[in-house]
Structure 1
Amino acid sequence: MGAMMGALFPTVRPSPGVSLLGIGGEPRRIERVLATVRIVLAVSALVAIYYDSTQPRRYAGLAYALLLMYVAYAVGVYIAIRRRPVVSSQTSLGIHAIDILFPSVISLFTEGPNSPFFLFFGFVLLAAAYRWGMNKTLLTGAACIAVLLAEAAALRSSSISNLFAGQYDLNTLIMRAAYLAIFAFLIGYLAEQEKRLRAQAFALTSVSSKARFELGLKGTLRSVLHEIVQLFRAQQAVLAFEDATGAFLWKAGPESTAEGLVLTWRALDPSERSRYFFALPADTLRLSRTRGGRSYDFVSDEDSPVARPSAVPASFSSEHPFRIALVNSFAIEPAVSARLFLFEPHPGLSRRAEVRFLRDLIRHVAPAVYNIYLLRSLRSRAAADERARVARDLHDGVIQSLHAIAFRLYALRIRASRHTQDVPTELLDIQQLVQREVSNLRQLIQQLKPVDFDPNRFVEWLSTIIDQYRQDTGIGVRFISDVRELVLPVEIAREVAHIVREALVNVARHSGAEHVVVRLSPEKRAWKLSIDDDGKGFQFVGRFSLAQLENNRHGPTVIKERVKALGGELTIDSRPGRGARLEIIFPQVKTAAHA
């Protein structure tokens, strides 16, 4: 038994993967389930025969011995599979062959085709369906029928019939063979459909998981397109994208690196737009070149299965010569649309099935990728606003002060010979002005520096920069934290850090406040950051949400954009002459950004 187990379970390496025809890494789980069922079946059969008064009349001892051997074999397979990290296809085939062999042997001693152990053939068919699906279940059914026919032929010989306990009955043989054929087809078909649906659901999840905020838009597109190309076994993927700023083209493959397919990007000229956004009869379809090579037939996801001709611009077919292409067009909002082309796909599905799966796949993945696109747009807008603010601060602050210093120095030089007593006072004023602008420049440079902190010690970092702010500005700022320590994802911690610095800089420059309170507290599966000062307040009066601030164009732009990038909420309570309060509620994990 140990030698047999060693032959059945050679050492192999795992090969995980995802396919529309099956899920990599599944054989071990499947074999564990079948091993459990095999033990239950073997033990149940042994108990049933033991208590059955119509136990085998001849060779009863041999039948019990075979059953006991099968129980031992079932337990041995179960233990071996539990201990092995990987089950090879050869091992599965070997186990399957033994499962077919056992009912073949025991039925010879228990009435042949009329054997009560006919149920074991049903288990063999179920195992084949659970492992492989339709085709191999039909092959298994044919093998079982062949075994029955061979036994029936053997039992027709009087000498062999006397040797074994089997009985030959043509009607019973035909019925049993018909049962096996029908059963093999039914469970094979159902198992094939279930296996395919499960594999497709797993593929949807796998591709959707590639859309991650930390990868950015380019990294996400590379990962998603690489996964789609591998999934459909295509040679190349081309994504044409159009928004209010223009049209762009992304290409993935056929070259690849260790990180995946090579992804290239370029802007499309207005004259090239029609090359990719040409009219199509359906949103999702399969184009295939006709025999003449001058036109294409298409199969869409509509109910009609008839392939119909479709026109493809000559500029497109010359730029991307193909024999088969899967195309999906989708619009997320009126101003944003895209079209995905997969060239030479071979997913192993029927034409209609691969079109429908591409449609379902894009419906699942497109919103996640679009959220990352929105996040990039929000960050770009926030960066542009921040650059504009810096330019405005430099112009209104430093440059104006330098002009004033130059003018006062010129005036001082003219008056120095006649009013020497005024020179020390004027020089002192100029010196103080220079020192003040140096301080302003230092604050501006500090604000422009990238945020450097440990997201696992976020509360400590907040306390440190607030202490530094107190020393630099002389403003009485107090930090209160209702949590001892806070661990945030890097992207959330970075955005919150920028919000805190921007808010404190605004207080120092515009509010004239003498006291500021910064508080961090939990808020219903989220966190709340409040910044309260006793300065001049904003020019508006009352409490405004983020949507109201956007509609009325109130509040600091940079902070609003960063809160939106977080997927958080912003509330500003302004009390002119008495101060203002900012409340930012941000999630524990990053949520989808909204435009």
Structure 2
Amino acid sequence: MASAITGRVVPRRIGIEPEARVSRELEFSFAPRVRVEWLIAGTRVVLALGGLLAAVVDPLQQPIQVFVLYFLAWYLTYSLAMLALVWAPIRFAPGWALAVHLFDFMAFTLLVAATRAATSPLFLSFLFLLVCGTLRWQVRGTVGTAVAMIGAYAGVSLYASKVLLIPGFELGAFLIRSVYLTVITAMLTILSAHHHRFQREIGQIAAWPRHVARNRRAAVSEILSEVSGLLGAPTILLAWDEAGEGNIKLAWLKEGEIKLGEGSRAEYDPLVLPSLDGKSFQASDASRDQGLVVIHSARGFRRRDCRPINEALRARFQIRAVQSWPLEGELVRGRMFSVNKVRMGIDDLVVGELIATQVGSRLDSTLMLRRLREAATLEERVRVAGDLHDSLLQAQAGAALQLLAARRLLDRRPEAARQRLEEVQNLLERGELEMRSFIRGLRPENAPRPKTADMDLSSRLDTLRQRVERQWPLTVTLQLNGTANRIPVTLRDDVYHLVQEGIINAARHADASVVIVNLSITGSELRIEVVDDGRGFPFRGTFDLQGLNHMKAGPLTLKERVARLAGELTISSMDTGAVVTMTLPIATA
């Protein structure tokens, strides 16, 4: 069945401080300040120009018409000046928005009070103020501006009519305009609240911590905590399968507790009805065979009566009300479930799709990181094996040959045997030094590992030549062409081991008497050629690295090292000897 690992959710969100998170959410919750002021200033110019034209066409009483025309002409000039002021990015002084809003409020209050018709174009100025208040301060701006406008309009109209004895105040017009304002205020309040909620949710998704968790448990804990906060659901369930894995992975958050588990494919596959695969849906009661399910796809929303979820999964997690979204990544496939949420809306399905995309990406990144680490570990093991083969094993093999020769000479030529034993001692001492350097390079505090290649490569190759000629009846010729010290330091150790492997293979397996090593650099490539006069490899012909791997032929250590260095290997094998050619890129070494 399924196994589970439990843990408690810590109050603090993973990867980001609470204060930093709040500031980032606010950053995404509102439109940029300059953009808002651009929009308001441009609309103000259009509104002032339209009001001026309307005042010319609409027949008002002579004194009032003159006042309105002069006032609108001045206001148009003011609007153009404000547009020019905010055209270039500026730093707004504290109280800028409130001061400008109050000025517009007073100006439009006077204009509306001076007009008679309830259908006057100047009434649009009130709508403009409501929109400005909404853009600047959201719902509070909408409601506050509406209340102030209705009160100011009533006060100015009554004062003009009763105190100044200016005719034109009509109770019916006042009530009509007040009703208009109330309806418009309600509409903008609803739209503003919806827009604010949507931007807050988008801001929270955008503020999702950018780091990649180091292991699956940390990644899942972060994901569940974030998703629970975004969707406001008491229980969040993730169910997914990973490419190359056998069981279905399960992770859920319920009552602040995070659990991880697994389930068999036979029990939980498929997670939802095949017809719902790849689609988002919600159901008020997933336990009913003919329950109502609302499905969202690229073509919109539609309804269907069915039991949407795998029954074993539903029964295990006691799922009734549910919203579900597909998780689709490069390596991960599955579903995300919001379980038993009290209030569900179909707009949650749209927002949930954005969240599910983020969740799938996070699970993908975590799995890729884990597999990269595994691959890196395997690659490092292969490298260590190759280095041990090229250093310790070669030294031990050479020492064994020298000991065998000394044993044969011990009775007949004691002095020669003693020289051979001294050579064995020197060989073992050099091997010990190489092993100490190799072990030091494996310690983390010395990463990247120190290279014996920091030494002069020409001297190392010459020492190798002398040692091989003492151990085998073999003549080694080095044709370095002045390239040894031009090879990048990071590549010299590998070059040394490639040459060593080529020479030792010719001496040990090909029964060669002459080996010629040629090094040359052409452009951004290093060419290593090892030629011998032995009996060649077990095959005949010329093959590259791919062909050798296909035939499972050629020296394994040599092939692995060349492949690791992104180089090319060609072996020509004949009855009269062999030519091993290795080409390595040095620009990226």
What TM-score does the superposition give when structure 2 sets the normalisation length?
0.60
CA displacement, residues 515-560 of structure 1 (integer Å, 9 cap, x when unaligned): 364977xxxxxxxxx4443346999957789xx9998889855776
Q: 1:432 aligns with which of 426, 433, 439?
A: 426
Q: In structure 2, what is the equivalent of residue 274 of structure 1? A: 267
What RMSD over aligned residues (CA atoms) do the two structures have, in Å? 6.4
Q: In structure 2, what is the equivalent of residue 32 of structure 1? A: 37
Q: 1:16 aligns with which of 1, 18, 23?
A: 23
Q: 2:364 aligns with which of 349, 361, 370?
A: 370
Q: In structure 2, what is the equivalent of residue 580 of structure 1? A: 582
- Please state whether the residue corresponding to 1:113 is helix, strand or coil: coil
Distance of 2:91 and 2:163 partners within structure 1: 44
- Please state whether the residue corresponding to 2:326 is helix, strand or coil: strand
Matched residue type, 2:439 = I
Distance of 1:287 and 1:111 partners within structure 2: 53
Alignment of 1:554-593 (within 5 A): 556=559, 572=568, 574=570, 576=572, 577=579, 579-583=581-585
Distance of 1:388 and 1:372 partners within structure 2: 25
Contact 1:13 1:86 in 2 (8 A): no
Residue 434 (structure 1) shift: 0.9
Q: 2:501 aligns with which of 510, 514, 526?
A: 510
Q: In structure 1, what is the equivalent of residue 475 of structure 2? A: none
Residue 147 (structure 1) shift: 7.1
Q: In structure 2, what is the equivalent of residue 340 of structure 1? A: 336
Given the superposition, is the C-alpha separation of residues 197 and 104 from structure 1 closer, same or farther in structure 2, using an over 3 Å criterion?
Answer: same
CA displacement, residues 466-515 of structure 1 (integer Å, 9 cap, x when unaligned): 6447378348534479xxxxxxxxxxxxxxx99x5885465344345553
- Please state whether the residue corresponding to 1:304 is helix, strand or coil: strand
- 2:112 is the counterpart of 1:107: yes
Contact 2:410 2:417 in 1 (8 A): yes
Residue 216 (structure 1) shift: 7.8
Q: In structure 2, what is the equivalent of residue 163 of structure 1? A: 165
Contact 1:275 1:316 in 2 (8 A): no
- Please state whether the residue corresponding to 2:23 is helix, strand or coil: coil
Contact 2:238 2:252 in 1 (8 A): yes
- Please state whether the residue corresponding to 1:338 is helix, strand or coil: strand
Alignment of 1:295-374 (within 5 A): 298-302=293-297, 303-306=301-304, 308-313=306-311, 317-318=315-316, 320=317, 324-330=321-327, 332=329, 337-343=333-339, 351-363=345-357, 366=360, 370=364, 373-374=367-368
Given the superposition, is the C-alpha separation of residues 477 and 404 from structure 1 closer, same or farther in structure 2, using an over 3 Å criterion?
Answer: closer
Given the superposition, is the C-alpha separation of residues 516 and 39 from structure 1 closer, same or farther in structure 2, using an over 3 Å criterion?
Answer: farther
- 2:248 is the counterpart of 1:231: no
Distance of 2:548 and 2:166 partners within structure 1: 92
Distance of 2:520 and 2:258 partners within structure 1: 49
Unaligned residue ranges in structure 2 (runs of 5+): 1-18, 462-479, 504-516, 573-578
Distance of 2:492 and 2:248 partners within structure 1: 36
Distance of 2:283 and 2:67 partners within structure 1: 65
Residue 104 (structure 1) shift: 3.4
Contact 2:323 2:349 in 1 (8 A): yes
Distance of 2:92 and 2:21 partners within structure 1: 11
- Please state whether the residue corresponding to 2:346 is helix, strand or coil: helix
Segment drifting more, 197-206 vs 29-38: 197-206
Residue 32 (structure 1) shift: 3.2
Contact 2:239 2:334 in 1 (8 A): yes
Residue 16 (structure 1) shift: 2.9
Distance of 1:197 and 1:585 partners within structure 2: 51
Residue 435 (structure 1) shift: 3.3
Contact 2:161 2:168 in 1 (8 A): no
CA displacement, residues 368-397 of structure 1 (integer Å, 9 cap, x when unaligned): 753663454244224214314534654786
Segment drifting more, 467-476 vs 138-147: 138-147
Given the superposition, is the C-alpha separation of residues 103 and 385 from structure 1 closer, same or farther in structure 2, using an over 3 Å criterion?
Answer: same
Identity score, percent: 17
Q: In structure 2, what is the equivalent of residue 243 of structure 1? A: 243
Contact 1:112 1:168 in 2 (8 A): no
Contact 1:480 1:519 in 2 (8 A): no
Residue 238 (structure 1) shift: 3.3
**Higher gyration radius (CA):** 2
Distance of 1:13 and 1:408 partners within structure 2: 70
Q: In structure 1, what is the equivalent of residue 484 of structure 2? A: 477
Distance of 2:438 and 2:47 partners within structure 1: 79
Contact 1:107 1:166 in 2 (8 A): no
Given the superposition, is the C-alpha separation of residues 354 and 227 from structure 1 closer, same or farther in structure 2, using an over 3 Å criterion?
Answer: same
- Please state whether the residue corresponding to 1:305 is helix, strand or coil: strand
Contact 2:324 2:338 in 1 (8 A): yes
Contact 1:287 1:296 in 2 (8 A): no
Residue 304 (structure 1) shift: 1.6
Q: In structure 2, what is the equivalent of residue 593 of structure 1? A: none
Contact 1:252 1:264 in 2 (8 A): yes
Contact 2:240 2:335 in 1 (8 A): yes
Contact 2:161 2:169 in 1 (8 A): no
CA displacement, residues 255-294 of structure 1 (integer Å, 9 cap, x when unaligned): 99xxxxx98766x3x6487358634352344555649999
Segment drifting more, 429-438 vs 575-584: 575-584
Residue 108 (structure 1) shift: 1.2
- 2:507 is the counterpart of 1:533: no
- Please state whether the residue corresponding to 1:301 is helix, strand or coil: strand
Unaligned residue ranges in structure 1 (runs of 5+): 1-11, 257-261, 455-460, 482-496, 521-529, 564-569, 587-595
Given the superposition, is the C-alpha separation of residues 291 and 391 from structure 1 closer, same or farther in structure 2, using an over 3 Å criterion?
Answer: closer
Count of residues paired in the alignment:
510
- Please state whether the residue corresponding to 1:120 is helix, strand or coil: helix
What TM-score does the superposition give when structure 1 sets the normalisation length?
0.59
Distance of 2:394 and 2:199 partners within structure 1: 68
